[in-house]
Amino acid sequence: MTWRSFFVRIVCSILIVVFGYVVAAETMLYRLNESQVGSSSAIHMQIDHNALYGSAITGDVSFLKYGVAAEKTPDIIALGTSRTMQFREEFFQGATFYTFGGIGDSVDAMRDIFDRISLQNTPKIVILGVDWDWLNPHYSHELPENALDSNNVLNRRMYLYKSLFREVRKNSKVQTQLLHPNLDEVDAIGKRPTIGLSAGVNYDGFRKDGSYQYGEYILHPNSIEERFADTYQRIEKGERRFEAADHIDADELAKLEALINHMRQRGCHVVVFLPPFPNQIYQTLLDSDRHGGFMIQFEDAVKEVCIAQNIPFFNFSNMEWLGASDAEAIDGFHGSERTYGRIVLQFQKDDALVPYINAEYIEDCLRESNHPFQIIPENL
């Protein structure tokens, strides 16, 4: 055997293995309704068909949000963590709205998001939801990977394959669906096309305004005790955003002040609010020796920054202050769409934001809906 023929056989063998790997991965993605995850087609499906996007193999939605927002060029944005994903575009009028909640969890991440979207379109108004963990010195402030936001199609697909095989190995629900697919191509709640396994099975996913539909909770709400159990466990163990602290991180506070100043210099009207906890969770935090002092420092520090910069500040740390019962909470630190409708009504105290608030519509929805979480008609 010559060296050339040996080399050709080696190359052919490698290509066969790679081809088999790709075919296997693409077949599994198709069976799991995940083929369009990380692709431009997902962006166009959201824009053109209001598709519900919910992947079960990766939580990276940066590509989707940046892609949709680039087309919408929103005048008003919500900037924050998953605790800003409950704002709806129907809450506003006379301007386009989009929420970037869910693609970062630190001041640095918010700066990165704002700078990215401002390259194409600088919003008129930024509603900034400041989370308590941003100023916690014992919580990681690393930027998210956002691998699907790469311009390299091959890199995006390889990341998706890696995430797929990881979930297939460890996630029994994914394994079951792979063997016996039982999902819907149309969202049973809003009658939208579904992208991703979570959207097709539980109807969980992102809508075209960047908000999140908690489909499983909407259709089958658990008791308050069940919904809050994980948060109580986090508080008790001091983990997963609830790390114990007795002082705020001065460096992160300085970054927050710089971020607000940066957005204002770009011509944005900035509104800062503290997202709500259910009353019983908030009281537990305040009464805790490991969290109470920090929470008070956090609220006071953010308020002082806003006063110094002369920008609107709203402290909604306790849902009860909004007239909302704990039954409206999705879990121990996420308010529902109903709660965030109440928040937007409170924003009427801001002269710059009030012309864009669809107050009568929100009030009608709050009055007419009897669901603890949802108030906007399901097909919107």
* Amino acid at residue number 109: A
Strand-pairing partners, residue 214, are: 204
What stretches of the chain adopt beta strand conformation (E)?
A: 52-53, 76-79, 97-99, 125-129, 194-195, 204-206, 212-214, 269-274, 313-315, 329-331, 334-335
Q: How is residue 300 written in tokens?
A: 């006071």
DSSP symbol at 270: E
Q: What pLDDT does residue 184 have?
A: 92
DSSP symbol at 275: P
Residues contacting residue 6 through CB under 8 Å, at least 6 positions apart:
none
Q: What pLDDT does residue 318 have?
A: 98
Q: What pLDDT does residue 152 have?
A: 85
DSSP H helices in 242-336? 250-265, 279-287, 292-309
In order along its 380 residues, the chain shows pLDDT tens digits of 577 776 777 777 777 877 778 888 899 999 999 999 999 999 999 999 999 999 999 999 999 999 999 999 999 999 999 999 999 999 999 999 999 999 999 999 999 999 999 988 899 999 999 999 999 999 999 888 888 888 888 889 999 999 999 999 999 989 999 989 899 999 999 999 999 999 999 999 999 999 999 999 999 889 999 999 999 999 999 999 999 999 999 999 999 999 999 999 999 999 999 999 999 999 999 999 999 999 999 999 999 999 999 999 999 999 999 999 999 999 999 999 999 999 999 999 999 999 999 999 999 999 999 999 999 987 76
User: Cβ(45)–Cβ(36) under 8 Å?
Assistant: yes
User: Cβ(75)–Cβ(96) under 8 Å?
Assistant: yes
Q: What pLDDT does residue 380 have?
A: 67
Q: What is the 3-state secondary structure (H, E, C) of 63-93?
A: HHHHHHHHHHCCCEEEECCHHHCCCCHHHEC
Q: What pLDDT does residue 50 have?
A: 92
The angle at the Cα of 109, spanning 105 to 111, to the nearest 5 degrees, equals 135
Which region holds residue 344: left if phi is over 0, alpha if psi is between -120 and 50, else beta?
A: alpha
- Look at the block and give the residue holding tokens 């420092």: 297
**192-223 in b/e burial notation, b at 16+ Cβ within 10 A?**
bbbbbbbbbbbbbbbbbbbbbbbbebbeebee
What pTM value is reported for the model?
A: 0.94
User: Cβ(129)–Cβ(123) under 8 Å?
Assistant: no
For helices 172-179 and 153-170, angle between their N-to-C axes, nearest 10 degrees = 100
